[in-house]
Structure 1
Amino acid sequence: MKTILFICITVTLLASCEKDYQHDTGLADAYHDCSMMDYLRSDHNNWDSIVVAIEYAGLTGIFEGTNPDYKEITFFGPTNMSIRKFFLEQTGEKIYQSIREIPVELVRNMILAYLVEGKKMKESFDYEIKGTLTGGTEVYSLNNVKLRVYRTQSEFNGIPDIGAEGLKIHAEISGQMADIASADIETNNGVVHSLSNRFTWVEL
């Protein structure tokens, strides 16, 4: 009996020490057999606000996959929390109370800046050169904002580069940076990389 117990404990410990130990605190990675727009509409807790913004900006066709110019897309998606933070952190003379109060062209640009043509999974992007603001893969958004998208790898139990792998974006002109909370949410016509709730939706 003791031998069996010892074997079970040993197997459990070995299984927990695999290199790709996962610390995913965002949305669950998954494949959704529907358009990206249908996926966003189905998850009210995370995407209700961006759905309103997409429809208001007249960009539904891109997210549904019906726009002939953009059959597949990658979306670095700001969640409801990110958009809520945009409204809470406003300063200046003009304070908006809802998405539909924001000029439509501004909303359009604030969405297009987070969209890249083609399906790009996390593995599509290179690693950052540690300790620098270089490395990764440069891509251009649908409104021509240059983004540096890069993978990172943390330490685990004091050993570098074997811990959880992360994905981040960096808008090189504005300097805005954001963590991806959950990557590789795949739909029929694209991939969603969900931004961290700590991120505030901005015009990149």
Structure 2
Amino acid sequence: MKLQYFLFLFILGLGACDDDYFHDSGLANGRHDCTVWEYLHTDAYNWDSTILVIERAGLVDLFDGKDPACPEITFFGPTNISIMQFMYKTVDNDDKVMYERIEDIPVEMCRKMLLSHVLPKKMMKKDFDYENRGTLEGGTYIQALSGTELRVFRAKSSYMGIADIGAESLGIHALVNGYIVGIASADIEMNNGIVHSLSYTYQFSEL
């Protein structure tokens, strides 16, 4: 693993972010006539490690629209950099990195972490409610496939000093641990699902 390379990319990603929770990269490319699984294979820069984690977790059918129990999904997608952060920062008592390869991560851990990022239906940004300004309340409360309780919310920003006319953001609040995660690119739609790509500052284990 070229962990130093990915750490360098992570630092670059940090430098590109504002002080807010959200980083709107504007990278979303609308509608794709394929499955979520096929879409991930079109962008090696962002999703190569994500694909390997999905394979290790045995969840290819879920992302490929072949799971009869869950034919459509919403995926809050952790990118390669998010997964590399998790691997680089997970150390043992001797400060030695525990997972040098994705194959080193236990299968059940991969499965649980991935399912904490998946909702059992298609949900676009507009389908989530607004957060109550200045609070940690409001939005849409929903359970991920892992059983993790999430509060997914839209938030309005100011522009030129005028409240609520700036860019609209989408965020996730993991109720079990309090982490708040920003969406970099929302509303990437495939035949069997929606992908909301998470910020490069996100670490895989936070949901």
Deviations 1:6-47 (A, max 9, x none): xxxxxxxxxxxxxxxxx9414223101000000001110110
Question: Cα deviations across residues 62-83 of structure 1 (Å, max 9, x unaligned)?
Answer: 0000000011000000011111
> What amino acid is aligned across from residue 198 of structure 2 in structure 1?
L
Cα 1:102–1:203 change in 2 (3 A) is farther
Q: 2:64 matched to which residue of 1?
A: 64
Instruction: Indicate the residue corresponding to 2:111 in structure 1.
Output: 108
Q: Is the 8 A contact 1:29 1:183 kept in 2?
A: no
Within the alignment, does 1:121 sit opposite 2:124 as a pair? yes
The 5-angstrom pairing of residues 30-41 of structure 1 reads 30-41=30-41
* 8 Å Cα contact 2:91/2:98 also seen in 1: yes
Alignment correspondent of 1:173: 176
Question: Structure 2: where are the runs of 5+ without partners?
Answer: 1-22
Tell me how far apart the structure 2 counterparts of residues 161 and 92 of structure 1 sit (CA, whole Å).
45
Task: Indicate conservation of the 8 Å contact 1:40/1:51, yes or no.
Answer: yes
Which position in structure 1 is the counterpart of 2:11? none
Give the corresponding residue for 2:204.
201
Structure 1 partner of 2:16: none
SS in 2 for 1:31: coil
Instruction: Confirm or deny that 1:145 pairs with 2:112.
Output: no
Tell me, in whole angstroms, the C-alpha distance in 2 between the residues paired with 1:203 and 1:131: 22
Q: Greater CA radius of gyration, 1 or 2? A: 1
Q: Confirm whether residue 53 of structure 1 aligns to residue 53 of structure 2.
A: yes
Partner of 1:82: 82
Q: Any idea what the Cα deviations from partners look like across 1:54-110, whole Å, max 9, x if unmatched?
A: 011100000000000011000000011111111222233361111110110000001
Q: Secondary structure at the match of 2:205?
A: coil
Normalised by the size of structure 2, how large is the TM-score? 0.85
The separation in 2 between residues aligned to 1:55 and 1:29, in whole angstroms, is: 25
Say whether the 8 Å CA contact 2:88–2:99 is kept in structure 1.
no
Identity of aligned residues (%): 51
Match of 2:20 in 1: none
The SS at the match of 1:52 is helix
Q: Which amino acid aligns with 2:150?
A: L
Alignment TM-score, normalising by the size of structure 1: 0.86
In the TM superposition, what are the counterparts of 1:17-28 in structure 2 within 5 Å? 24-28=24-28
Deviations 1:159-190 (A, max 9, x none): 01000000000110121221000000000000
Alignment: residue pair count: 182
Report SS of the residue matched to 2:46: helix
Gap change, CA 1:106 and 1:131, over 3 Å in 2: same
Q: Distance in 2 between matches of 1:99 and 1:24?
A: 28
Distance 1:26 1:197, change over 3 A: farther
Return 5+ residue gaps in structure 1 as ranges. Answer: 1-22
Determine helix, strand or coil for the equivalent of 2:204: coil
RMSD of the TM alignment (CA)? 1.3
